[in-house]
Amino acid sequence: MEISIPNYICRREIKAVALLTGASWVTSACIEKLLNLYKFPQTHVLVCTFDDSQCSWETKWNRYSDGNVVIAAFVPLSIYNIYNRTIDFHVKNPYFRHFRRFKLQNYQCSLSFIFAIEEINRNPHLLPNTSLGFDLYDVQRSEWGILTEAFFWLTGIGIGIPNYRCRRESKAVALLTGASWLTSARIGRLLNLYKYPQLSFGPFNTLLNDRGQFPYVYQTAPKDSSLSLGIISLLLHFSWTWVGLVLIDNHKGSKILSDMRGEMYRNRVCIAFVKMAPENLFFYDTSFMETINVIEKSSANVVIIYDDRESLHCLIIRSLHFVKTWKVWVMNAKFDSSICFEPFIFDSFHGTLLFTHHHDEISDFRTFIQAYTPSKYPDDHYLDIFWKNWFNCSLSLPDCKVSANCQPNVSLELLPSNLWEMSMTEASYNIYNSVYAVAQTLHKMTVKQVEIEPHGNGERNIYPWELHPFLKKIQLKNGAGHHVVLDSQMKLDEEYDILNFWNFPNGLRQNMKVGTFSSKAPHVHQLFLSDHMIQWATGFTELPSSTCSESCVPGFRKLHLEVEPNCCYDCAPCPENEISNETDMDNCVKCPESHYANAQQNHCLEKAVTFLSYEDPLGKALSCMSLGCSLLTAGILGVFVKHYHTPIVKANNRSLTCILLITLNFCFLCPLFFIGHPNTAICVLQQSIFAVLFTVALSTVLAKTLTVVLAFKATVPGRMVRWLMTSRASNFIIPFCTLTQLVLCGIWLSISPPFVDLDAHSEHGHIIIVCNKGSELAFHCVLGYLCCLALGSYTMAYLSMNLPDTFNEAKFLTFSMLMFFCVWVTFLPVYHNTKGKVMVAMEVFAILSSSAGLLGCIFAPKCYIILLRPERNSLHFMKSKAHSRIKF
């Protein structure tokens, strides 16, 4: 077995007699020093010149510092991006290129690890008389690279051999892994065999809580179960309801997607698209380019990116730089710009919003960084590379160390701010807490050992598995006094800092804190944002909007589409007398009865109270017609009184004629009750007086027609007819019919009398004061009774039309009843199709027109003879006319 172990030979027999070395003199020189001990001859095959350009990031040096107890840490200090250099996706064997980039954020994790070790060693109250050492490994992201480094650490040699350990003594008691959960999971499965405590300083992942798979893995990072709620609160704060999601296709990405969907559904935020990116991304991979195209073409101006490995952040940002897609990016963590970008390609992501776990600042860490120089830490190979690249220092050969002629008083603090952060990152803070968790555990174990063996020598071996009972229950305060819990069941949701990425002028990058989110705070105070501090992407001149549809302005409501998500809708105007006074209202609000919607339908205005008044043009016209017809009727009555003893007046029953004229005069004045401000008394009187007056008028007409018929029937033998004629029984028709109507009106007023009512619907913008009929049935019964009287009068008049009398007015009575009947039959459908003042005016007009019909048809011919043809109003004319008719 060919294993290189100092002071050990692991081969049974040595058969090599010589060794060829090259291709550089460094290789030969190093091997020569080793082989001189064994007197091996060497032949230098090829010697190449060496310069400091060969001192690069590709060199991987692990670091070790001895102590009574050692804590190991696996930190991925570099990342390998894989690019498909073949643009044609149909090529079966595309060419891939691996490109390695150094991760400055993870390098800070290694410094935080060393800083915590040194801080604990200086603390006399924590692990007194015990020194902590460290074993620091740089691991790759690949599964093979992670397991290889794990085997190297377990065996203590440069080759991983399962179940072999070539170190004489192992002092390591715990292992810190990260910065992704995948690294911790791969190492955790291996270390389960040896029961090593493993503390993961990467993002919290529920898979690592599976005690069946990872019984000895502990997570330092806080839970992020409220991250979805924090992001949704941010979306609602800016009214962003149309967003895209790009997530890593793993357990954590699926969990975030499930949480996001639930929160978005509850808060009515819609997802424009969801793209699940594979964990092993390719820059020119078909699925990845499809994701880029979806982002570019989507109408969503806000895109949420969740990635726990940073590869997704980097590839998306590098890709979208070339197309300049102006979006608002919401990300779950700060990205390491040193591995993602060149300084000039960051414009598209200016204004990005980042959610990071809030943690207290460690004040001494900045001092430690300032003092962290190659002279003080000569074993850190990467420091020499920093000093060469950034401070123009030359490296000595062959050990690649900073030469003496370097600039004085330089430190990591002078590195460009867009690449290096002086304050602790999330991962650095977690690894710092992890070291303190192990140290506090060792301290408790030591105290317990002293209590059990107070007189012991104080020196004994500490085995890794002894830490587990203490780690499971550990609750501690770190150097900043911040509370740290490893038990996932006791972890609480932490507060988030909301950072705004600034990149102006181009290349000067800064993460500015603009707000916080805490799920433990009351609902209205969970999110705090300083909106005025936020810088948006270059493509936005004002607060970005991200909605599927244009906002519905006041006066319109959302009309959701059946084939689209709820966030996609059309805008429809509000129905009549309904308003929407806010943007994007789902439903319009109906105005109260006392108000009406304005023309824009965004505000309710108070209605004006109105009624059919004498000031209205319609009221003036009707009142003038009423008074004019009343005066005309009075004039006709005066003519008849003046010619009371003339034949034409005598022939038409003078008493009934006067009663009819007086009644019609009051009928013409009756509409005045319908005009003006109504009250309860007027509402009762207007219907009752109208009904009684018209009943008297119609019963008078009926009495006149009946008198004519009985007069001609009296010549025919018959006792009954003669008795009716001599007893003037027709005169009793008027009180009988009127009494019947009075009974009907009495029943109406006792059951459901008319009352004052407010009509808020008939006329836009007005409330009309009207008289409600009370009982519509009673009102129609009254009208029906009047129509029956008119129909009876019409029948009697029709029967007496051909009676041989010179002044027979049966024809005129027939026409008058026909007109009356037509007016009121026509009135009913029109009445039911009108509202408000028009309905009142229709009833007034029907009263006037029916009264005018009676007056005109009955009395107009008589007035014509009395006034214009007085010669016909004589006894001589009547006799001559009768004689001529007999002769004919």
C-alpha distances in Å from residue 107, one per residue of 369, 380, 420: 12, 11, 10
pLDDT value of position 387: 86
Cross-strand partners of 755:
772
Q: Tell me the CATH class for 617-879.
A: mainly alpha
Structure tokens at 16: 């090599």
Break the chain into its structural domains and give their ranges. Answer: 1-50, 227-361+494-533, 556-606, 617-879
pLDDT value of position 882: 47
More confident residue, 796 or 71: 71
**Can you tell me the distance from the alpha carbon of 337 to that of 509, in angstroms, rounded to the nearest whole number?**
9
Of residues 80, 175, 181, 167, the one with CA closest to residue 136: 175
Residue range 462-481: average pLDDT?
Answer: 83
Helix (H) / strand (E) containing 813: helix 810-832
pLDDT in tens, 293-311: 888 888 899 999 887 665 6
pLDDT value of position 198: 93
**Can you tell me the distance from the alpha carbon of 326 to that of 349, in angstroms, rounded to the nearest whole number?**
8
User: What one-character DSSP code corresponds to residue 305?
Assistant: E
Sheet holding 608-610, edge to edge: 608-610, 766-772, 755-759
pLDDT value of position 45: 34
**Can you tell me the distance from the alpha carbon of 292 to that of 244, in angstroms, rounded to the nearest whole number?**
12
Helix (H) / strand (E) containing 625: helix 617-642
Residue range 28-38: average pLDDT?
Answer: 40
Residue range 502-521: average pLDDT?
Answer: 80
Residue range 264-284: average pLDDT?
Answer: 80
Residue range 95-118: average pLDDT?
Answer: 79
**Can you tell me the distance from the alpha carbon of 46 to that of 21, in angstroms, rounded to the nearest whole number?**
8
Identify whether the C-beta of residue 667 lies closer than 8 Å to the C-beta of residue 851: yes
Q: How far, in whole angstroms, is CA 373 from its chain's centroid?
A: 53
pLDDT in tens, 820-847: 878 888 887 887 788 878 888 888 888 8
More confident residue, 278 or 631: 631
Identify whether the C-beta of residue 568 lies closer than 8 Å to the C-beta of residue 549: yes
Position 852 pLDDT exceeds 70:
yes
Strands 242-248 and 270-277: parallel
Taking the CA atoms of the chain, what radius of gyration do you get in angstroms? Answer: 54
Position 46 pLDDT exceeds 60:
no
C-alpha distances in Å from residue 543, one per residue of 245, 299, 324, 517, 529: 21, 16, 19, 20, 14
Position 684 pLDDT exceeds 70:
yes
User: DSSP letters of 118-148?
Assistant: HHHHH-TTSSTT--EEEEEEE--SSHHHHHH
User: DSSP letters of 518-553?
Assistant: -TTS-GGGSEEE-GGGPPPPTT-SSS----SSPPPP
Position 89 pLDDT exceeds 80:
no
SS3 readout for 722-780: HHHHHCCHHHHHHHHHHHHHHHHHHHHHHHCCCEEEEECCCCCCEEEEEEECCCHHHHH
pLDDT in tens, 859-881: 888 888 888 887 777 666 655 55
pLDDT value of position 477: 79
For a pLDDT cut of 90, what percent of the chain falls above it?
A: 16
The helices-and-strands tally (H runs, E runs) of the chain is 23, 33
Position 350 pLDDT exceeds 50:
yes
Q: Where are the alpha helices (DSSP H) in 298-425?
A: 311-323, 337-340, 363-370, 381-391
268-282, 525-539, 743-757: range with lowest mean pLDDT: 268-282
Of residues 354, 362, 309, the one with CA closest to residue 511: 354
**Can you tell me the distance from the alpha carbon of 796 to that of 117, in angstroms, rounded to the nearest whole number?**
126
22-26, 441-445, 514-518, 772-776: range with lowest mean pLDDT: 22-26
pLDDT value of position 790: 83
Arithmetic mean of pLDDT over the chain:
78
Identify whether the C-beta of residue 297 lies closer than 8 Å to the C-beta of residue 307: no
Identify whether the C-beta of residue 605 lies closer than 8 Å to the C-beta of residue 598: yes
pLDDT value of position 231: 93
pLDDT in tens, 363-384: 889 999 999 988 888 888 888 8
pLDDT band for position 88 (cuts 50, 70, 90): very low
Position 550 pLDDT exceeds 80:
yes
Residue range 344-352: average pLDDT?
Answer: 70
14-23, 160-169, 711-720: range with lowest mean pLDDT: 14-23
Residue range 258-268: average pLDDT?
Answer: 88
Position 230 pLDDT exceeds 60:
yes
pLDDT band for position 64 (cuts 50, 70, 90): confident
Position 322 pLDDT exceeds 50:
yes
Helix (H) / strand (E) containing 500: strand 496-502
**Can you tell me the distance from the alpha carbon of 364 to that of 432, in angstroms, rounded to the nearest whole number?**
12
Cross-strand partners of 323:
none
Position 318 pLDDT exceeds 70:
no
pLDDT in tens, 165-206: 555 456 789 999 977 878 888 888 888 888 899 999 888 888
**Can you tell me the distance from the alpha carbon of 833 to that of 849, in angstroms, rounded to the nearest whole number?**
19
Of residues 28, 29, 24, the one with CA closest to residue 49: 24
Strands 766-772 and 510-517: unpaired
Q: How many CB atoms lie within 10 A of CB 72?
A: 24
Q: CATH number of 227-361+494-533: 3.40.50.2300, 1.20.1260.10, 3.50.50.60, 3.20.20.140? A: 3.40.50.2300
Identify whether the C-beta of residue 569 lies closer than 8 Å to the C-beta of residue 551: no
**Can you tell me the distance from the alpha carbon of 316 to that of 573, in angstroms, rounded to the nearest whole number?**
42
Position 397 pLDDT exceeds 90:
no
**Can you tell me the distance from the alpha carbon of 659 to that of 674, in angstroms, rounded to the nearest whole number?**
24
6-20, 224-238, 247-261: range with lowest mean pLDDT: 6-20
Position 432 pLDDT exceeds 50:
yes
By the 10 Å C-beta count (0-12 exposed, 13-18 middle, 19+ buried), 195 is classed as middle
